[in-house]
Amino acid sequence: MNYLYLYAGFLVLAMAWYLRRRGRVKQAYVAELKQSLEAGLAEPPSLHPLVDPLRCMGSGACAKACPEDALGVVNGKAVLISGSYCIGHGACRDACPVGAISLVFGTEKRGIDIPNVSAEFETNVPGIFIAGELGGMGLIRKAAEQGRQAMDAIKKRTGGTPDFDVVIVGCGPAGLSAGLSAIAHKLKYKLIEQEESLGGAVFHYPRQKVAMTAPVELALIGKVKFAEVQKEKLLEFWQDVVQKTGLQIGFREQMESIDKEDGSFIVRTNNANYSTRSVLLCMGRRGTPRKLGVPGEDSSMVTYRLIDPAQYAGQAVLVVGGGDSALEAAIAVSQEQGTRVILSYRSAAFSRVKQKNRLLLDQQQQAGRLTVMLNSSVKSISANAVEIEAEDGVKSFENNVVIVCAGGLLPTPLLQKIGIRFDTKFGRA
């Protein structure tokens, strides 16, 4: 009998501990959701989970599977609590034990423009194809598959005497896969990437972030059996693939326009013009980084995203912008040994940023690790200094690198000018 009392007491204690812990977790999710709503960060930028509340049992499996911590459980149901951080890789949908999650584009309040493409990923403009994130597919495995399938269709196109069979724009998973397929099909290809690194959006993930959760089929390589891999390992794998296959990539080459001439397309970039039979667009939905438009911005010391804060240890760094990405970059760099960080923002206050970033920024300021300059703008960039105009005039500051986090210019207007049609989706697949 004593054993029964002991066992019952143990169960009561375990249940009390579980309920107390569950209550704390729920409070944390509710607080984060409230914070996201107040900061304007609840709206997802692209493909994202839609939870059926009638089917959801509130197990929390989806929240645990999400590498971005974008999902939580509120009032017994899964909720997208940090929509702006969701990249739509679908791990939550796969983890849901009752199939209560579907992946959709847009919301009831905010539509997302998705290009019209055929089953072979050809747009309504014959010869122009779209694969990967621009077409709404953020999943690495599926983006790579789309790039491969699009190239299977492109190889069938003939006619004319252009310099290339295909120009591939973008070097993320879709573009890399397409490039490998172009080699396999013995096509004359040109693969360009506006940044100085391959990997597309994956390259800009935070360190150690889980980037892939399913195997993928690649031309020349075969089936790559990555069940779950972090960003660094995946990029290392891509680099190895490029070296082994001889895939040629034109970095820091940005597409500026596409024109039709004599039955071929002319892809104009900041470096050259290419005549091609087909064009495969594998660009990201984040678009081209918005530039400052000041003297010296084209130098190699200017970058538009923070990759690894450690590389800036001991340097003078200027971060430009007022969103979460700018605050997070400034905070991360200021935590490195010996850095001198300035955060410049054109407005009088930060808006639409997470409260935790505000607090961390204040902590770094009070510790003397960074300087915040509101109501300021960059006037020029030179080899070892920057000029910043603020309320007290223009001043020069020592500088080794400038990180611009001022958002991006979406490619939609450019593509519409070409004639590509889009559908605006409000919470639909």
pLDDT, mean of residues 36-61: 77
Quote the CA–CA distance of 363 and 256 in Å, as a whole number: 42
Per-residue pLDDT reduced to its tens digit, 55-73 = 999 888 888 888 777 888 8
Nearest to 179, CA basis, from 117, 118, 242: 242
Quote the CA–CA distance of 327 and 325 in Å, as a whole number: 6
Residue 121 reports pLDDT greater than 70: yes
Bridge partners of 335?
Answer: none
Q: Are strands 189-192 and 164-169 parallel, antiparallel or unpaired?
A: parallel
Nearest to 201, CA basis, from 139, 256, 244, 110: 139
Residue 167 reports pLDDT greater than 80: yes
Q: Indicate the residue type of 177.
A: S
Question: Thinking of the domain 113-287+410-425, which architecture would CATH place it in?
Answer: 3-Layer(bba) Sandwich (3.50)
Quote the CA–CA distance of 127 and 131 in Å, as a whole number: 13
Quote the CA–CA distance of 308 and 183 in Å, as a whole number: 32
Quote the CA–CA distance of 163 and 266 in Å, as a whole number: 10
Quote the CA–CA distance of 119 and 420 in Å, as a whole number: 16
pLDDT of residue 18: 54
Beta strand ranges found along 61-161 (DSSP E)? 71-74, 77-80, 101-104, 112-115, 128-130
pLDDT, mean of residues 150-168: 93
Residue 21 confidence class, pLDDT cut points 50, 70, 90: low
Residue 284 reports pLDDT greater than 70: yes
* Ranges of CATH 3.50.50.60 domains, the chain: 113-287+410-425, 302-407
Q: What is the dihedral of CA 228, 233, 238, 242, to 10 degrees?
A: -150
Least confident span in 23-27, 70-74, 131-135, 355-359: 23-27
Residue 235 confidence class, pLDDT cut points 50, 70, 90: confident
Per-residue pLDDT reduced to its tens digit, 368-406 = 999 999 999 999 999 889 999 998 899 999 999 999 988
Per-residue pLDDT reduced to its tens digit, 236-270 = 888 888 889 999 999 889 898 999 888 899 999 98
CATH number for 2-104 (one of 3.30.70.20, 1.10.287.130, 1.10.1660.10, 3.40.50.300): it is 3.30.70.20
* Ranges of CATH 3.30.70.20 domains, the chain: 2-104
CATH number for 302-407 (one of 3.30.479.10, 3.40.50.2300, 3.40.30.10, 3.50.50.60): it is 3.50.50.60
pLDDT of residue 75: 84
Positive or negative, the Cα torsion across 179, 183, 184, 186? positive
Higher-confidence position of 359 and 205: 359
Residue 127 confidence class, pLDDT cut points 50, 70, 90: very high
Whether 340 and 384 have beta carbons less than 8 Å apart is answered as no
Whether 250 and 191 have beta carbons less than 8 Å apart is answered as yes
pLDDT of residue 194: 84
Phi/psi for 234 (5° steps) reads -65, -45
Q: What is the DSSP letter of 317?
A: E
Nearest to 166, CA basis, from 71, 265, 298: 265
Residue 37 confidence class, pLDDT cut points 50, 70, 90: low
Per-residue pLDDT reduced to its tens digit, 310-352 = 899 999 999 999 888 899 899 999 999 999 999 999 988 887 7
Residues in contact with 32: Cβ distance below 8 Å, sequence separation at least 6, in sequence order: 72, 81, 82
Per-residue pLDDT reduced to its tens digit, 352-368 = 777 788 889 999 999 99
